[in-house]
Amino acid sequence: MSHHNHDANQERRRFARIAESSKVRLSFADPASVTVEAELVESSQSGFRVAHGCKELVPGLELELLREDRPAQKGRVVWTHLLDGRRVSGCLLL
């Protein structure tokens, strides 16, 4: 059994993705400022995915990703899927 194709898959990804599972907060204006608890599922140099329970995270929404150990990062929601009863949103870093 060969292990070649595993390496090829990794090289196709432009940015290393880091699988994470840490509590974060998402802050956005709707129209007043709202902060929701979320879970960071995955992050890369270009964006991140978060799991949350917030209906307001729709494509095009700009938000801030707040983590305890680093500065806030601005992002834009690209998509939101309902997965196993929870929402997961993919965001692009701005």
Q: What share of the chain is helix, strand, coil (3-state, %, to 5)?
A: 10, 60, 30
Q: Structure pTM?
A: 0.76
pLDDT tens digits, 14-45: 667 666 668 999 999 978 899 999 999 999 99
What's the one-letter identity of residue 49?
Answer: R
CA distance 31 to 88: 22
State the maximum Cα–Cα separation within the chain, in Å, rounded to a whole number: 57
DSSP, collapsed to helix, strand or coil, labels residue 60 as coil
pLDDT tens digits, 39-68: 999 999 999 999 999 999 999 999 999 998
CA distance 83 to 42: 15
Domains of the chain: 17-93 (2.40.10.220)
